[in-house]
């Protein structure tokens, strides 16, 4: 009398076989471990803070400009009490987010911005210039300044502005790498200062402060590169598992191991279930390990991250089944893997350069997964913020997972 084998026992046996096959694939096992170590090392190397201070060079020194202006204001009859207050003004301390560096010579300032000279600030606050080509030694107890933009005021600037002189020229020098918005901001700063000194109102009406910024104001709360890496690291782990699972499926198809399995009481449905559970479970487990090691989990977001990673694992496992079924050899499997995964990587760049993603980027299946990961790990998004992303991701999972199961089933039946 034959004993009936339960479907649960068959599934456990198939999962055990998957685990043994995975452990024997030395190449992808090594790549998986290497990726885990690499992504963690990169994460801890990246800076965990953002410097929002702009280093602004000024020539002549602010003190010189103020001293010249005091004489102009005195000639205009400004009381001595107000002149004393102007003389005691320390713009370096009052300018939040701006680090002023004073230069006596415009040529020296432009040389520092160009890079032919280095500017160092000592602990006492003095600026020391270093010419590397001339062999100047590194100043002791000093910190190098990164000066990328500077403003050169003409002699008698305040007197000319207050006196109403036409075409007062102020030159703004900037390094080629300085963003255009910083240059425009410095130009606007000079223009506004000239209007204020002349006692004139700006020729525009500014709205209230609370209506200027649309969305969340990140001024003073910028995201560091280390924080930006968190969703990308989890995404990279899922990507590596796609190659690994596709390789396992391809080997079983090429060596016809799957047909030998079907000689046993196992059915095609059991094989597909084992592939689904094992592939999704391996990707999910490794992704959760990475997120835990980088400290992404909190008491509020752990379940949201779990759902996100589950959707991503199922999505990439579906892709792995399609790729593994299509490849006829190692190179063919690698080609198909690259052809499928390279487009899926494109939404990851939205993490490094945040903003409104193009519609064609939002149409890529991995976009909702990455969008949810970024919102949860970086911006503390809750359920109300990510449920739409979950909905789109679930729809894509149904499409890709269904396509993967169908493709693998047809491949097995054709052997």
Per-residue pLDDT tens digits for 113-137: 888 888 888 888 788 888 878 778 8
In which band, very low, low, confident or very high, does the pLDDT at 6 lie, cut at 50, 70 and 90? confident
Nearest to 103 by CA among 113, 95, 89: 113
* pLDDT computed for residue 395 by the predictor: 96
pTM of structure: 0.70
Q: How far apart (Å, rounded) are the C-alpha atoms in residues 301 and 372?
A: 11
List pLDDT tens digits, range 355-385.
Answer: 667 788 888 999 999 999 988 998 888 999 9
pLDDT of the residue at 384? 93
d(CA 312, CA 306): 10
Q: How far apart are CA 92 and CA 234, in angstroms?
A: 43
Q: Count other Cβ atoms within 10 Å, centred on residue 112.
A: 25
- C-alpha dihedral sign at 78, 82, 85, 91: negative
pLDDT mean over 153-171? 75
pLDDT tops 90 at residue 392: yes
Per DSSP, helices labelled H in 177-329 are 180-197, 225-254, 257-263, 268-293, 302-326
Question: What does the pLDDT look like over 213-222, one tens digit per residue?
Answer: 444 445 445 6
pLDDT computed for residue 24 by the predictor:
80
Per the model's pLDDT, the better-predicted residue between 28 and 300 turns out to be 300
Q: What is the pLDDT of residues 218-272, one digit of tens each?
A: 544 566 778 888 888 888 888 888 888 888 888 887 778 877 787 788 888 888 8
Token pair listed for 168: 């007062």
Residue 203 has pLDDT above 70, yes or no: no
Residue 1 has a pLDDT of: 40
Return the ∠ at Cα 214 (arms to 46 and 47), rounded to 5°: 5
If one compares 150 and 97, the residue with the highest pLDDT of the two is 150
> Parallel, antiparallel, or unpaired: how do β-strands 142-145 and 171-174 relate?
unpaired
Q: Which two tokens stand for residue 200?
A: 């004139």
- pLDDT at site 398: 94
CA distances from 414 to 101, 189, 239, 259 (A): 74, 72, 28, 10
Mean pLDDT of all residues belonging to the chain: 79
Q: How many helices (H) and strands (E) does the chain have?
A: 17, 7
pLDDT tens profile 292-327: 988 889 989 999 999 999 999 999 999 988 888 876
Strand pairing class (98-102; 54-59): parallel
pLDDT of 140 strictly over 60: yes
Mapped onto helix, strand or coil, the DSSP state of residue 171 is strand
> Could you give the strand order of the β-sheet that contains 127-130, starting from the edge strand earlier in sequence?
127-130, 118-122, 142-145
CB distance 364 to 393 below 8 Å:
no
What distance in Å separates the CA atoms of residue 407 and residue 67, rounded to the nearest whole number? 80
Give the separation between CA 149 and CA 153, rounded to whole angstroms.
13
- The pLDDT of residue 376 is 92
pLDDT score of 215? 47
Q: pLDDT tens digits for 60-112?
A: 887 787 777 777 777 777 677 766 766 665 554 445 567 788 888 888 888 88
Number of neighbouring beta carbons within 10 Å of residue 183: 16
């Amino acid at each position: 009398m034959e004993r009936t084998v339960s479907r649960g026992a068959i599934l456990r046996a198939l999962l055990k076989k998957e685990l043994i096959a995975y452990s024997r694939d030395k190449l992808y096992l090594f790549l998986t471990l290497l990726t885990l170590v690499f992504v963690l090392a990169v994460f801890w190397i990246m800076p965990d803070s953002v410097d929002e201070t702009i280093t602004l060079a000024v020539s002549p020194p602010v003190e010189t400009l103020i001293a010249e202006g005091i004489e102009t204001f005195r000639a205009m009859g400004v009381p001595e009490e107000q002149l004393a207050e102007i003389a005691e003004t320390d713009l370096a301390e009052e300018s939040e987010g701006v680090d002023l560096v004073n230069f006596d010579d415009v040529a020296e300032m432009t040389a520092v911005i160009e890079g032919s000279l280095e500017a160092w600030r000592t602990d006492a606050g003095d600026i020391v210039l270093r010419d590397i080509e001339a062999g100047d030694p590194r100043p002791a107890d000093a910190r190098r300044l990164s000066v990328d933009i500077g403003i050169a005021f003409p002699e008698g600037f305040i007197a000319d502005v207050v006196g109403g002189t036409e075409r007062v020229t102020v030159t703004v020098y900037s390094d080629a790498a300085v963003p255009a918005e910083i240059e425009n901001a410095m130009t606007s700063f000079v223009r506004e200062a000239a209007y204020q000194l002349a006692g004139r109102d700006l020729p525009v009406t500014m709205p209230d402060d609370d209506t200027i910024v649309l969305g969340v104001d990140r001024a003073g709360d910028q995201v560091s590169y280390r924080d930006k890496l968190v969703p990308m690291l989890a995404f990279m782990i899922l990507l590596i598992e796609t190659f690994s699972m596709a390789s396992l499926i391809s080997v079983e198809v090429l060596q016809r191991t799957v047909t030998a399995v079907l000689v046993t009481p196992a059915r095609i449905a059991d094989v597909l279930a084992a592939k689904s559970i094992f592939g999704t479970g391996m990707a999910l487990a490794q992704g959760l390990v990475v997120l835990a090691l980088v400290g992404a989990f909190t008491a509020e977001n752990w379940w949201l991250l779990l759902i996100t990673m589950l959707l991503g694992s199922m999505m990439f496992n579906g892709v792995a089944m399609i790729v593994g079924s299509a490849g006829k050899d190692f190179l063919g499997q690698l080609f198909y893997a690259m052809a499928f995964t390279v487009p899926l990587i494109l939404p990851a760049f939205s993490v490094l350069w945040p903003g409104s993603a193009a519609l064609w980027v939002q149409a890529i299946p991995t976009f909702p997964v990455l969008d949810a990961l970024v919102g949860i790990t970086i911006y503390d998004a809750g359920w109300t913020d990510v449920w739409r992303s979950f909905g789109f991701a679930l729809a894509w999972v149904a499409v890709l997972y269904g396509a993967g199961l169908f493709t693998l089933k047809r491949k097995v039946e054709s052997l």
